[in-house]
Amino acid sequence: MPPRLRLGYPGFFVLVALAIGAPLAFLLVAALGDLHRQAERDARNVVGVLEARLEATLRRAQAGLEELATDTPPSVFDADVSPAQRQLLQRHLALKARHFPEITGFRLIDTTGAVRYASEIGEPRASAAGRSYFEALRADPALPLVFSEVAVGRMAGRPQLFMAVPIRDDAGRFAGVAMAPLELAYVESLFNAVDLGAGGVITFRRSDDGRLVLRRPAEEGRVNQTLSNNPMHMRVEAGEREGTIRFEAAIDKTERVYAFKRVGTYPFYVAAGIASRDYLAHWQRNAVGVVGATTLFLLLLGLLLGRLHFTEQNRRRAARELQASEDRFQLLLNSVGEGICGIDRDGRHLFSNPAALQILGYRSEAELQGQDIPALLHTHDGAGQPLAPDACVIRRAVSVGTAVHSNDGLFTRADGSLLPVRFDAYPLVKDGAQMGAVLLFADITERRRNEARIEFLAHHDPLTALPNRLLAEDRFEQARAHAARAGERVALLFLDLDGFKTINDSLGHDVGDEMLKALATRLRQQLREADTVCRLGGDEFLVILPGVRDLDGLTQRIARLLASVEAPVVLPGRQLSTSVSIGVALFPGDGRDFTTLMKKADTAMYHAKDAGRNTYRLFDEAMNQHVQESLRLRSNFQRGLDNGEFVLHFQPLLDLRSGKVVGAEALLRWQDPERGLLSPGLFIPVAESSGMIVPLGAWVLGEACRQAAAWRASGWDLMVAVNISAIQFKRGGIEQTVADALRDSGLPAHLLEVELTESTLLHQTDEVLAILHQLRESGVRLSIDDFGTGYSSLAYLKRLAVNKLKIDQSFVRDLTSDPEDSAIVRAIIDMAHSLNLTTIAEGVENAEVLAVLRQFGCDEAQGYYFARPLPEAEFRRYLEAR
């Protein structure tokens, strides 16, 4: 390379560009500075001339006004001044005004603001009252000179700037004003005589507040406007009398060089601005031309040097790429996680990467140098059996020239141990000749461990390590096949822990998980080797017991399972107890497939829950029929509501003293198209478990109120009693439902009695209390149904403020034959009367029971002795008959 190019072609280009560009930039910047300074000088010259002219004009006008004020006696404003004197003074003013072309004329104004004399008008009819200059001088006659804002003259009818001086009497008091309107056209003619270029501007402003007096070119609506944040005016306010500044004007967004100067001692300053674009236009054209020519030269030079540089770079790049290729290969070989070995056509070692040495347990390649790799490594098959030399597939890849692959091979390590590997051998061929092979292999010990773990998790519960449902089903199939051959039965036990959710919610899922693991261990300990216990999920387990010969043996084993679960579980820092409900289904009697037996065992488990928990139930067909019936009813509820299949029957309520019918209890029936008339005992539990009791209860309330309102319209002022489910209280809104039923039917609130079960009052006491008090305040009567069968509490009666207690029919039915029932009924009646509560006995079926109730002082009664629950039409006939 020539010595001048040792810096390289890019460096040479940069030096040339700097050698040309730096002086050129210096010259352009210097010329730009000269232009800015020349513009400042021009602006200062213009401002100097304008300031001198304006100062002379204002000084001449001020002198004339002051002379006029001094020479004018206050008597000229008297009312008795003769016309001749007025004419003489007016001519004097006109003669004086001829010497002042910059003003419209002179005015003499009296103390009221009336213009009494004007140089150009014989009898002026104008007033200066309210003008700023007049009010200022009248308020302070000591002021020597006042300038107004720009205003339209009331006599001239065009914008003017008013100059005014006070006229004082001999005592120095305010006697009037001498005023001269300054013609802005005169000032504008001075501005028009100056050429500042297309973007130039001249402004004449007040120096005290920045208000605009005149601007060329004019901007509509700007006169008398003040300035804010104007850098030039801020300097004037700071006390500078003159100066230069460059900034962008807020009015037209144009950058200018401004010069400003205060006008003598007057509260004005004049400013001239020359637009940067005007005085820089020629410089910009020259700069563009010079820069363009220089750029073109440098571009051509750069293209030439770039071509030379590109050629040199290609040569260097080829050398670097060759070296980089070798480095990449070595880096890849050293960093790859798989082992790589090269072997020659005889199977001898050529090279190994670090991963291969680490996997095989060798410290360096020297230990493998010249070794027969197939004979050294591949000595056993995938099952761990010794491998014959001719069965080595790696040697086949070398000798035959075909690639081989294995997912589960075994290699012998340096210490003689066997290592599970996945390996591939690829032949090396050059010009059609076999050169050897490359062996790639990876340690798959962790993969095999993970596969075993995945296989375990696929068939086991990860928390308890018990078989899961999939494995349980497979175990059942094996047990079923054996039972079919041996004539035995297989039992499926569905286990569900009782109250386990409470443990999870109160103590946390970590404690719940520990308890599940402890219970899983107990269940395993209670089973034989042929038995299977699996966790289905949550707190549900399944036990498969094959070889069941008789039910006695099965029930004994179930009893042991119940006892083992019931025993306390000791965990760190606490001791917990639970129980389990078990449902049992038997193969082949209850079903022949796993799914069917699971479903039936689940059904039996729910019956065990209903039986009080911590027990078991064997499946029978009645359970299945009950479940199917519940499902059918559940699916038909909405249809029944929509199609009007639900009806109300009414059972009379009688006053035992008068024998009169005082009300009726509304009892719900379902007119099912498929089954006929259904009693509430069949469908109410299903309605409560499905949540349909809420819309169903709302319908009952509305229909009962509507019917009671109809009886009232017919002359029977009867109370109607309606049962309310605890679910309706839990869902909320029962008070609104009652209010809607009363409003829609028009029934008075005191004719509706809401019957509540004791279970409703037992739970959610605070919430129930609030609802009951709201119902009671609305006028609705409250009754406790089936009193004495639940968790009766005098404290509840005291707080709830109910109206009536309904004595359950289980005590009433045997009232005359069972002394205990008689004592209970008497106690309830006495207690109710002491609390000012009404009592009603249900289930009255004979005259003897009725007589005892009357003897005890019971208030009301209902039962078959009086009438069965009747459809509405029959209930009407019953009322008419009585």
Q: Cis ω on the peptide bond leading into residue 420 (within 30° of 0)?
A: no
Which pLDDT belongs to residue 862? 93
Is pTM beyond 0.75? Reply is no
Residue 514 has φ and ψ, to the nearest 5°, of -65, -40
Q: Quick one: pLDDT band at residue 627, thresholds 50, 70, 90?
A: low
Which pLDDT belongs to residue 5? 43
Q: Quick one: pLDDT band at residue 808, thresholds 50, 70, 90?
A: confident
261-275 mean pLDDT: 91
Q: Quick one: pLDDT band at residue 857, thresholds 50, 70, 90?
A: very high
315-341 mean pLDDT: 73
Which pLDDT belongs to residue 1? 42
CB-based burial, 478-492: b 16+ in 10 Å, e otherwise = ebbeebeeeeebbbb
CA-nearest of 267, 262, 163, 160 to 206 is 267
Q: Are 29 and 166 in contact, with CB atoms under 8 Å apart?
A: no
Cβ-proximal residues to 318 (8 Å cutoff; 6+ apart), any chain: none
pLDDT in tens, 140-155: 988 999 998 888 877 7
> Residue length, the chain?
882
Q: Are 638 and 690 in contact, with CB atoms under 8 Å apart?
A: no
Q: Quick one: pLDDT band at residue 177, thresholds 50, 70, 90?
A: very high
24-34 mean pLDDT: 82
Count H helices and E strands in the chain, helices first.
28, 32
Q: Quick one: pLDDT band at residue 325, thresholds 50, 70, 90?
A: low
758-764 mean pLDDT: 58
Which amino acid does the sequence have at 593?
A: D
| DSSP for residue 817 | T
Cβ-proximal residues to 674 (8 Å cutoff; 6+ apart), any chain: none
Cβ-proximal residues to 3 (8 Å cutoff; 6+ apart), any chain: none
Is residue 654 predicted with pLDDT exceeding 60?
A: yes
CA-nearest of 203, 247, 200 to 224 is 203
| DSSP for residue 141 | T
748 vs 591, which has greater pLDDT?
Answer: 748
Is residue 435 predicted with pLDDT exceeding 80?
A: no
Half-sphere exposure of 695 (CA within 13 A, CB side): 10
98 vs 323, which has greater pLDDT?
Answer: 98
Which pLDDT belongs to residue 359? 84
CA-nearest of 140, 68, 152 to 109 is 68
Distances (CA, A) of 713 to 480, 654, 882: 71, 20, 18
Is residue 282 predicted with pLDDT exceeding 60?
A: yes
Which pLDDT belongs to residue 652? 95
Is residue 305 predicted with pLDDT exceeding 60?
A: yes
pLDDT in tens, 459-513: 888 888 889 888 888 988 888 888 888 888 888 999 998 888 888 878 888 888 8
Euclidean distance between CA atoms 140 and 245, whole angstroms: 38
Q: Cis ω on the peptide bond leading into residue 748 (within 30° of 0)?
A: no
Q: Is 824 left (phi over 0), alpha (psi -120 to 50) or beta?
A: alpha
Both tokens of 742, joined, read 């009363």
Which pLDDT belongs to residue 794? 62
Euclidean distance between CA atoms 581 and 609, whole angstroms: 6
Under DSSP, is residue 654 helix (H, G, I), strand (E, B) or coil?
strand
Strands 201-206 and 174-183: unpaired
Q: Quick one: pLDDT band at residue 764, thresholds 50, 70, 90?
A: very low
Q: Are 780 and 807 in contact, with CB atoms under 8 Å apart?
A: no
pLDDT in tens, 200-245: 899 999 988 888 899 888 888 888 888 878 888 889 888 899 999 9
Which pLDDT belongs to residue 2? 44
Which pLDDT belongs to residue 494? 92
Which pLDDT belongs to residue 260? 93
339-344 β-sheet, strand order: 349-352, 339-344, 433-443, 418-430, 404-412
Residue-by-residue DSSP string for 392-423? -HHHHHHHH---EEEEEEEEE-TTS-EEEEEE
pLDDT in tens, 178-194: 999 998 888 888 888 88
Residue 859 has φ and ψ, to the nearest 5°, of -85, -45
Euclidean distance between CA atoms 494 and 158, whole angstroms: 109
Residue 224: alpha-carbon gap to chain centroid: 54
Under DSSP, is residue 204 helix (H, G, I), strand (E, B) or coil?
strand
Is residue 706 predicted with pLDDT exceeding 70?
A: yes
pLDDT cut 70: percent of the chain above it = 91
pLDDT in tens, 55-113: 988 998 888 898 888 888 888 888 888 888 888 888 888 888 888 888 888 889 999 98
400-422 mean pLDDT: 80
Which pLDDT belongs to residue 796? 65
Q: Quick one: pLDDT band at residue 437, thresholds 50, 70, 90?
A: confident
46-51 mean pLDDT: 89
Which pLDDT belongs to residue 28? 79
Q: Quick one: pLDDT band at residue 861, thresholds 50, 70, 90?
A: very high
Q: Which residues pair with 244 in a beta bridge?
A: 259
Find the range with the poorest average confidence among 221-230, 639-648, 812-821.
639-648
Euclidean distance between CA atoms 608 and 584, whole angstroms: 10
Q: Quick one: pLDDT band at residue 720, thresholds 50, 70, 90?
A: very high
Find the range with the poorest average confidence among 195-199, 232-236, 690-694, 838-842.
690-694
pLDDT in tens, 523-559: 888 888 888 999 988 888 999 989 888 877 788 888 8
Strands (E), 685-762: 719-724, 752-757
CA-nearest of 60, 62, 51 to 264 is 51
Under DSSP, is residue 164 helix (H, G, I), strand (E, B) or coil?
strand
Under DSSP, is residue 741 helix (H, G, I), strand (E, B) or coil?
helix
| Mean pLDDT value across the chain | 83
134 vs 671, which has greater pLDDT?
Answer: 134
Which pLDDT belongs to residue 355? 83
Distances (CA, A) of 229 to 226, 237, 250: 10, 11, 10
Cβ-proximal residues to 69 (8 Å cutoff; 6+ apart), any chain: 165, 166, 167, 168, 178
Euclidean distance between CA atoms 582 and 120, whole angstroms: 125
Is residue 763 predicted with pLDDT exceeding 80?
A: no
Is residue 672 predicted with pLDDT exceeding 50?
A: yes
| DSSP for residue 865 | T
489-498 β-sheet, strand order: 532-537, 540-548, 489-498, 579-587, 616-618
Q: By CB neighbour count within 10 A (0-12 exposed, 13-18 middle, 19+ buried), where does 673 fall?
A: exposed
Both tokens of 635, joined, read 């699916």
Q: Which residues pair with 212 in a beta bridge?
A: 205
